[in-house]
Amino acid sequence: MKKNKKKILKKNKKRGRPKIKKLEKGSNLGKVGSTEKNLKWNEQKVEIKKIKKQPAEKRIFNIKDYVVYPKHGVGKIVGVEKAVIGNIEIQFYKVFIEKEKLTLSIPLNQQSHLRPVSSLHQINKAISILKSKPKIKRTMWSRRAQEYEQKINSGKIYELAEVVRDLNKNSDMSADQSYSERQLFEKAYERLISETEVVLKSGYEVAQKKIDKALNRNQNVE
């Protein structure tokens, strides 16, 4: 009887013991611990963004050079600077437009939009255009105004001279010109004087007198 009791007790003890499985190599618990360590390590890392440089393009112009930007006229290069835009390092010209008191930033890869100021020969040819007979098309003013605007914004000195010649009034401008005609004339007229002034290395008044003489304008009229 005693032996039977001992056997029963041993069986009950065995049944009451919780079975503990040994962790196998490469188990999921081991992986969780390693991933937590990796996450902490990644959090400590600082992400370094590489700054790409704009494709190199040789500079055509230098600081203090005068250039013509078609939509604004004559300007002076006052500096060459760098800036990072969208992780790309861009080099650009700083162009100061005296007439508009405006500074433009022109990227080097867009320097083809700029042109050098005209030569003395080109200015003289432009003045000869001013002396020639106006060529006014018999079309609606809205269409002609669009053509004049395109010529002004082309940045071409001869086309600018053609607009000045065609819209010029020798005496009282306000009597025969509409507001839009006057606006276009003054825009082209001022740009032509500005470029002539730079090329001749003269003051504004000297350049204006030269243009007015070619146009046969009454210089006393404001």
Mean pLDDT in residue range 148-176: 85
Count how many residues are written for the chain.
222
The confidence score (pLDDT) of residue 29 equals 46
CATH 2.40.10.170 in the chain: give the residue spans.
52-116
The confidence score (pLDDT) of residue 59 equals 83
Cα–Cα distance for residue pair 109/152, rounded to 1 Å? 24
**Statement: the pTM of the whole predicted model exceeds 0.95:** no
Q: Regarding the domain delimited by 120-215, which CATH topology (the fold level of the hierarchy) does it fall under?
A: Methane Monooxygenase Hydroxylase; Chain G, domain 1 (1.20.58)
* 221 backbone φψ class: left, alpha, beta (φ>0; ψ -120 to 50): beta
Least confident of 27-41, 95-109, 122-136, 189-203: 27-41
Mean pLDDT in residue range 163-190: 83
- Dump pLDDT digits (tens) for 80-130: 998 887 888 889 999 999 988 999 999 998 898 999 999 999 999 999 999
CATH 1.20.58.1290 in the chain: give the residue spans.
120-215
The confidence score (pLDDT) of residue 221 equals 43
- Considering only the top CATH level, what class is 52-116? mainly beta
Cα–Cα distance for residue pair 159/28, rounded to 1 Å? 79
Cα–Cα distance for residue pair 27/39, rounded to 1 Å? 19
Residues 104, 110, 112, CA angle at the centre, nearest 5°?
A: 105
